[in-house]
Copies of this chain bind each other. A is one copy, B any other.
């Protein structure tokens, strides 16, 4: 009986700014892009609240397969650096106290990221109260409010309740997200100091977890772990254009490479005309991105085929991602050096 309820209440919360940034007027953002060993870092600062996103810093780290040992180590280092930067921007006291919140559902693999991060947070608050922790450690607590389908309670109410009973200076929230691009699934970490705004934010003020509602700085760490079928199809149609553009480019050196090993996204391409698109894809080729997604949604949704999906290796990936984020948080907050 319980699981029927669970299925209805399965919720993935926030979104990636990086995929919406083109919808924000240029003059209210600053952008910065770097690359370290194939890992891309985008830092976007939104200078004032707008229709798409709140004012604040959004850092996006984009990487390849995280179950690869080398990738893991590079991304971990970058994650620590970027988290440190955002923490430093919050102007906290030297001995700030942190509450780490892991949103999501332990019993649903793609939604369990936050819970599993909390399993490995180095918790010190209870020791701090007895003893002096020493200069290398901050006071840290970690908590998983679970999902409403399991508890009947809003995560937001529980967090707010804890903050009324105990004093903290910084909230770090970890959550699984829904992705709006295939390529980002399990391959992107977003850090932001704007907090979490569930749903489309339509007047749903009390569910917001942010400095506004919690009265202390809130840093949200999110990884997209699911994507919907509409996105898979629309991304594929866009990729089809790019593939054709690549094939039209006469690069004899490339032609020598094994045909299906080439990542055509990274190769030179020549643009194809609208006529060519129409020839190739008919009316479909004439739709813009938003129209294409709406159209595909109209096909899949009424018959129940617009599933949210996750890669079949999700168990192994969540294990690595949660380890990376928990180690990163521990090393950012405490001065662990060679201790772990």
**Chain A contacts to B: CB under 8 angstroms:** 1-7, 9-10, 12, 67-69, 107-111, 120, 122-127, 139-144, 146, 148-153, 157-158, 160-166, 182-183, 185, 226, 229, 232-233, 235-236, 239-240, 243, 260-265, 277-285, 296, 298-303, 305, 307-316, 319-320, 340
A174 to B262 CA separation, bound complex (whole angstroms): 38
| A312 and B308 form a contact (CB under 8 A) | yes
A1 to B10 CA separation, bound complex (whole angstroms): 32
Assembly stoichiometry (copies): 4
Shortest CB distance A273–B (Å): 13
A136 to B12 CA separation, bound complex (whole angstroms): 32
Known contacts A5-B127, A299-B240, A305-B239; decide if A110 and B312 are in contact (CB<8 Å): yes
| B142 and A299 form a contact (CB under 8 A) | no
For A12, give the chain B residue with the smallest CB separation.
B312
Contact residue among B107, B183, B260 (Cβ-Cβ distance under 8 Å from A305): B183
Residues of B near A315 (CB, < 8 A) are 107-109
A217 to B175 CA separation, bound complex (whole angstroms): 35
| B229 and A236 form a contact (CB under 8 A) | yes
Contact residue among B233, B280, B283 (Cβ-Cβ distance under 8 Å from A283): B280
CB pairs A–B below 8 angstroms (8 shown): A10-B312, A109-B315, A139-B152, A161-B165, A236-B296, A262-B302, A281-B281, A307-B311
A166 to B6 CA separation, bound complex (whole angstroms): 21
A262 to B299 CA separation, bound complex (whole angstroms): 11
Which of A108, A183, A233, A278 is packed against the most chain B CB atoms within 10 Å?
A: A233
| B303 and A239 form a contact (CB under 8 A) | yes
A309 to B320 CA separation, bound complex (whole angstroms): 18
Contact residue among B107, B143, B149, B236 (Cβ-Cβ distance under 8 Å from A126): B149
Shortest CB distance A181–B (Å): 10
A35 to B90 CA separation, bound complex (whole angstroms): 53
| B7 and A67 form a contact (CB under 8 A) | yes
